[in-house]
Structure 1
């Protein structure tokens, strides 16, 4: 165990991150029900964290931490991340929170496929088996033809998971040279100008509750990212990743309390299947990391099941 590791603290931080993430998605769903356009919600989701990080670093005299020699790589990650965010936040406005959350758990499955295709990584039978199990879970959740899940929502949810996996590939590259705070800042700051023109069409006329929701989306989104980063300071990804699946519990709770909705049997059957696939992938990444460390030091790079 590394000297600075504090596994229980790491698990607690990751659990808190998932609670913040679930609150952000709840607020996104509520803003959608109030008629706020998704691009405007995304703008404030990115603008508030960028301003808060800039102000915090400025107050500490640490703006130098934002220096980067890879602006174009950050820009590419921001554009891919913005497209992924559109799907990730959009799916919660189409599907119930629990179902949308479970579909997001398929991101590690797509990350394995992308690693094999884009990074030419060798994928063994364990991880290919996990991919098959994850896809089976999607089939179970989709249910029979007469299931309640709309086809559009199912496609958007799967597309969101795919984009999250694609972002994880980008983060593997950026993580070699950039600290997490820098990556988070440029993701937010570079996507704001892309989203800003939508405000000219939608306007910014909201009541006090609407503005509170938009601020809450930015605050909870930033808190989730910072808590996830902090968790990795005190624990390994392969150890804390199990807490990411607590998001299904939070989503089910908010769906029940706020929307009086509980997932159908197909979701309760499919969710453990999808979660099992993700845990198999995380376990294999842990085994591979230990094998690499026995030969040469290398940082762990297993994919995270959720990004927002």
Structure 2
């Protein structure tokens, strides 16, 4: 996808926001459904396998009806394989975080992904990161401490560690996606991630597959379908609106996961969760805003990016 093509595409910001909102709701449903499936005896390998298997035809049909099957050709299968390996680990950790923690708390810690993205960009990509974004990083981590309150023992340490690891790995995926995005469309990336992940998952499944009742199969089917729809909506949203417009919708996950958590008997989050979430969300939004400001073209040729 060329920059020229991107610039010629009309923007429909409200449509893009709606698509992103649908994606976030679907992801919230997917992860909470994964928790329910786990309570019904489904192991993590099975959950991720069926999520990818059922989503694959959904993604395939979307690509066939939009860009055409010829669009899935790639010369960078090695980079796609790297993205698959890291992404698969991240997906498993995210599912596990929702199993070990209440949904609202798992989603809130997941909001630290932009914070880890900033750290990795500075350490790995050597991007200039100044006082503004480092301050936002510290505020975000302060929000995690406020929410978790390690001294109080509100949440299992293992669950918190898994949720933080999930955010870190997801941020690592963003670095690989940045590299792939130079030559590959979003649809190609989604397709090869889903397809390639079936190889390691297919090898592992004979050791983990179990029989389940019809209700449990229904939950697994829901995980795959809403997961596929979420991928499509995430990708489509960026076709109709810039990241800076659609990104704030991601933070609505705290609303949907809270409601879903109440529905499955987890109760309302504590006050410290809301305070911590406010700090983490503010940190993530500020990081996104700074990146947006620095990415704007200068008004005159001698202008320089604002200090970070």
What TM-score does the superposition give when structure 1 sets the normalisation length?
Answer: 0.91
Give the 3 Å change call, closer, same or farther, for CA 135–78 of structure 1 in structure 2: same
Superposition deviation, residue 211 in structure 1 = 1.4
When the two structures are aligned, how many residues end up with a matched partner? 295
Alignment partner for residue 256 of structure 2, among 250, 275, 284?
250
Indicate the residue corresponding to 1:34 in structure 2.
Answer: 40
Give the 3 Å change call, closer, same or farther, for CA 78–294 of structure 1 in structure 2: farther
* Equivalent pair of 2:117/2:171 in contact (CA under 8 Å): yes
Q: 1:256 and 1:174 mapped to 2: Cα distance? A: 39
Indicate the residue corresponding to 2:70 in structure 1.
Answer: 64
Unaligned 5+ runs, structure 1: 296-308
Q: 1:183 and 1:61 mapped to 2: Cα distance? A: 13
Unaligned 5+ runs, structure 2: 1-6, 302-308
* Equivalent pair of 1:103/1:138 in contact (CA under 8 Å): yes
Which aligned segments of 4 or more residues in structure 1 are displaced greater than 3 angstroms?
54-61, 291-295
Q: 1:176 and 1:146 mapped to 2: Cα distance? A: 46
Q: 2:44 and 2:9 mapped to 1: Cα distance? A: 44
After superposition, what is the alpha-carbon deviation per residue over 1:240-289, rounded to whole angstroms, capped at 9, x for unaligned?
Answer: 11111000000000011222411112211100000000000011011011
Indicate the residue corresponding to 1:161 in structure 2.
Answer: 167
After superposition, what is the alpha-carbon deviation per residue over 1:150-187, rounded to whole angstroms, capped at 9, x for unaligned?
Answer: 10001000000000100000000001111111101111
Superposition deviation, residue 292 in structure 1 = 6.2
* Equivalent pair of 1:40/1:198 in contact (CA under 8 Å): no
Q: 1:110 and 1:194 mapped to 2: Cα distance? A: 27
Indicate the residue corresponding to 2:123 in structure 1.
Answer: 117
Q: 1:229 and 1:33 mapped to 2: Cα distance? A: 31
- Give RMSD over aligned pairs: 1.9
Q: 1:292 and 1:21 mapped to 2: Cα distance? A: 37
Q: Does 1:203 align with 2:209?
A: yes
Q: 2:67 and 2:235 mapped to 1: Cα distance? A: 21
* Equivalent pair of 1:49/1:185 in contact (CA under 8 Å): no
Indicate the residue corresponding to 1:303 in structure 2.
Answer: none
Q: 1:99 and 1:142 mapped to 2: Cα distance? A: 9
Give the 3 Å change call, closer, same or farther, for CA 204–127 of structure 1 in structure 2: same
Superposition deviation, residue 56 in structure 1 = 5.1
Say which is worse superposed, 278-287 or 57-66, in terms of deviation: 57-66
After superposition, what is the alpha-carbon deviation per residue over 1:74-129, rounded to whole angstroms, capped at 9, x for unaligned?
Answer: 00000011111111111000000000000000000000000011111001211111
1:65-214 to structure 2, matched below 5 A, reads 65-214=71-220
* Equivalent pair of 2:23/2:229 in contact (CA under 8 Å): yes
Give the 3 Å change call, closer, same or farther, for CA 293–195 of structure 1 in structure 2: farther
What TM-score does the superposition give when structure 2 sets the normalisation length?
Answer: 0.91
Q: 1:47 and 1:108 mapped to 2: Cα distance? A: 29
Indicate the residue corresponding to 1:298 in structure 2.
Answer: none
